[in-house]
Structure 1
Amino acid sequence: MTFATQASEHQTQMAKHVPKSHHPAVINSAKPIEDNTKTSESDLIWKGISSSFMLPVEQWRADIPWYKRWSASINLGYPLVDTPAVIPANSTTGPSNQNFTASLSLKYAIIGNWFISATAYHYFDKDLQQAWNPDFTYVFGYSDWRPYTFSLLYSNYGGNRFNPSDGIKHTEFSQGTWSLGWKFPITKPVIDWLSFTEDGAIGCQIDYNYTPEYFDLASVEYKNQHQTISLGCKYSIIGNWYVNATGFYYLDSSQKQPWNPDFTYGFGYFDWRPGTITVQYNNYSGNRWNSAERGPDTGRFKDGSISISYSFKF
């Protein structure tokens, strides 16, 4: 696999309304593409662009049992700190989870690279579960692991509830995020300047992210049209060991909340194949380029979390 569509909770949960794809930021996990001519590189780019969003109907004619289209993973997430944030109770978005959790994710491949997935969470300390900590999350859309392809995803990581209180919905669809992205590898000669291992590879993805409705802490009310542009890259050091980072640009800086980061980062061991174990550290908290601008209890290394997951197919 050259690119993995595991986007650290889809581009790190789109930094809580700024991508949970499935786990470290979208990006490549093998050797970069090597081409000797500009023409061949142009051909690869056009092939990736023109093949995006395809519907390979011939797959429906294949004699594949329905359950073969399912894949899954189980996960344990352990935060390095467990101090809950103080945010108004009506907020369905907030800082990253600060609770020891177990989760089960299911993904169904509809056709080609079109899919739908959902994750259910168990909080070991129910008292620490905040209004914005979901019982479940869901993602659907199109994402191809190959370079130079487009992706289009809807993801909802808000305070979704299986059994909501009176007057509360199971989910607020308008508070989910739509993301249009494009993947590309870092090729020669640039990769030779950046990599310090023979097998090193870097893949990136740029996204436009749009959230129709978001919670604004300053006014303590919901507002409309939260928009960001993000650029995430993953450096596969050797084998399945990697580091990744994603930077965010806010089209309206006044929309940035204390828990919305300028950047996110992570590292660990990631294997996309079924029957494997992945171990990661990820930090989605309110990281700031200028540390003096960080919100309380955000943007520190200890505000990240460690996760262990096991993936499998039916």
Structure 2
Amino acid sequence: MLTLMTFKCLATDHQTQMAKHAPKPVLSPEISSDESSSKTTKETESDLIWKGISSSFALSLEQWDQDTPWYKRWSASVNLGYPLVETPATLPANATTGPSNQNLTASLSVKHSIIGNWFISATAYHYFDSDLQQAWNPDFTYVFGYSDWRPYTFSLLYSNYGGNRFNPESEVKHTEFSQGTWSLGWKFPITKPFIDWLSFTDDGAMGCQLDYNYTPEYFDLPSVEYKNHHQTVSLGCKYSIVGNWYVNATAFYYFDSEQKQPWNPDFTYGFGYFDWHPGTITIQYNNYSGNRWNSADRGPETGRFKDGSISISYSFKF
């Protein structure tokens, strides 16, 4: 789901949900463009690339002693998600993956920074119309791994956005770990002269992330059964227009086109106002439905602008 220093992280599932929740580069207002230019003059591009790569997956035990105490490493956000349409989808009862939820929801997300950029997070959902909650619409989701907002760094995440249940029915698990997605990513900025060609504002900045995504087990609609080894590569970019206003998009390549389900997108997109600081409000529109490069190929009631949703969230620290 930037300039040399303006990353926060892209924040993945079986294609639709993966696009929705995977870490994505976000412009960071912590460092000004003047500071970035100064750093660039002191370090060559190759120096910055090596610095980002070599620092990835750092796990410093010294930092564990000097860092913020564990009980102060918690952050959270509350979210209200409003779909532009509310149309229940029809899939077999045993499906634990499917289209994006089309239901008014409220959610609470909690994140714990273990050490450095290693973290674990979880989200609990409330569906205002319980009759519209499908088998693949989760009661909770969870993500863990490593993600650094800095440019040229790698990330490694596991995310599970399937039909997880707090109180599953008999012979149904709380979660199917094998149906989560592993994502290996690399962040990089769009630098001069390319950013000058793409930007239409003085403050414009862009950053991208390339991901390899692997899901051990996925639901296949044509065969109505579960299959193995769903693989994609995705490229997501985010453009900061001015301040905290942005647009973003992600494109997907499927190693096996037959693995692509009607709800799996060729691309996703969004726009809105994002502020990573605690105590702030974020407003976004996102479309993770079955968007197709050729609109004639999209599934019924998917891939349209109205199949997206609007969300309002408030972030805070404990």
Q: Same fold (TM over 0.5)?
A: yes
SS at match of 1:278: strand
Match of 1:26 in 2: 25
2:110 maps to 1:106: yes
2:196 maps to 1:192: yes
Contact 2:265 2:291 in 1 (8 A): yes
Determine which of 74, 88, 93 is the counterpart of 2:92.
88
SS at match of 1:307: strand
Deviation string 1:161-218 (CA, Å, 9 cap, x unpaired) is 0000001000000000000000000000100010000110000000000000000000
Match of 1:144 in 2: 148
Q: Distance in 1 between matches of 2:108 and 2:67?
A: 28
Match of 1:242 in 2: 246
| One-letter code aligned to 1:20 | H
Q: Percent identity?
A: 80
Q: Distance in 1 between matches of 2:28 and 2:259?
A: 33
Q: Distance in 2 between matches of 1:253 and 1:26?
A: 27
Q: Distance in 1 between matches of 2:303 and 2:277?
A: 32
SS at match of 1:81: coil
Return 5+ residue gaps in structure 1 as ranges: none
Contact 1:18 1:228 in 2 (8 A): no
Match of 2:257 in 1: 253
Q: Distance in 2 between matches of 1:183 and 1:38?
A: 21
> 1:58, CA displacement in angstroms?
1.7
SS at match of 2:44: helix
- Alpha carbons of 1:116 and 1:72: their partners in 2 closer, same or farther (altered >3 Å)? same
Q: Distance in 2 between matches of 1:37 and 1:161?
A: 52
| One-letter code aligned to 1:176 | G
| One-letter code aligned to 2:90 | V
SS at match of 2:191: coil
> 1:37, CA displacement in angstroms?
6.9
2:224 maps to 1:220: yes
| One-letter code aligned to 2:25 | V
Determine which of 123, 127, 130 is the counterpart of 1:126.
130
SS at match of 1:3: coil
- Alpha carbons of 1:108 and 1:17: their partners in 2 closer, same or farther (altered >3 Å)? closer
CA-based RMSD of the aligned residues comes to: 1.8
Match of 1:292 in 2: 296
User: Within 5 Å, which residues of 2 pair with 1:155-166?
Assistant: 155-166=159-170
SS at match of 1:55: coil
> 1:65, CA displacement in angstroms?
3.3
Per the normalisation by structure 2, the TM-score is 0.93
Q: Distance in 2 between matches of 1:64 and 1:55?
A: 15
> 1:66, CA displacement in angstroms?
2.6
Q: Distance in 2 between matches of 1:291 and 1:38?
A: 48
| One-letter code aligned to 2:166 | F
